[in-house]
Amino acid sequence: MDFARYLSIPYEVGGMTFEGADCYGLVSLILYYELGIDIAKKIHYKATDDYQGIHQQSHEAFSDFKIIKDINKLQANDIIVFKILGKYYSHIGFYLGTMFIHTRSECGVVVDNLFLTGWKDKFGLGLRYENKS
């Protein structure tokens, strides 16, 4: 996948375009333009003790994705989901292999090191696309 073209997107709450996107919008854009998957704004997570608490609408949106519970089993191009606000999954990006692409409100789309910036401790789960067609 070509992630470079997303790096100039500024942050916009609720945004889902190249003119502005939040973390959910960025993942939606990448899935749409790189894989042809249109999940729109159906990405909403709620954590439970077994990490299976994805809301029904998100479960349907991610029916072709395998849940990865172990951070060490992530592969490049997996979606990575973080628990920032307590028990809820509240941030999402794409894993690039030690690095990940996501948005920050102060600067838009960025690439950060998962293991050097404290994000590792906020890891919730990964999602891997498995085309079942």
Q: Would you list the domain boundaries of the chain? A: 9-129
pTM of the model: 0.82
User: How confident is residue 125, by pLDDT bands cut at 50, 70 and 90?
Assistant: very high
Model pLDDT, residue 53: 41
More confident residue, 95 or 86: 95
CA dihedral 11, 12, 16, 17 (to 10 degrees): -70
Contacts 24+ apart (CB under 8 A), 75-78: 75/128, 77/1, 77/129, 78/126, 78/127, 78/128
Model pLDDT, residue 42: 53
User: How confident is residue 118, by pLDDT bands cut at 50, 70 and 90?
Assistant: confident
Structure tokens at 6: 């997303």
Model pLDDT, residue 56: 40
Q: Could you report the per-residue pLDDT of 30-69, keeping only the tens digit for each? A: 999 998 888 764 544 433 433 344 344 455 566 778 999 9
In this structure, which topology does domain 9-129 adopt according to CATH? endopeptidase fold (from Nostoc punctiforme) (3.90.1720)
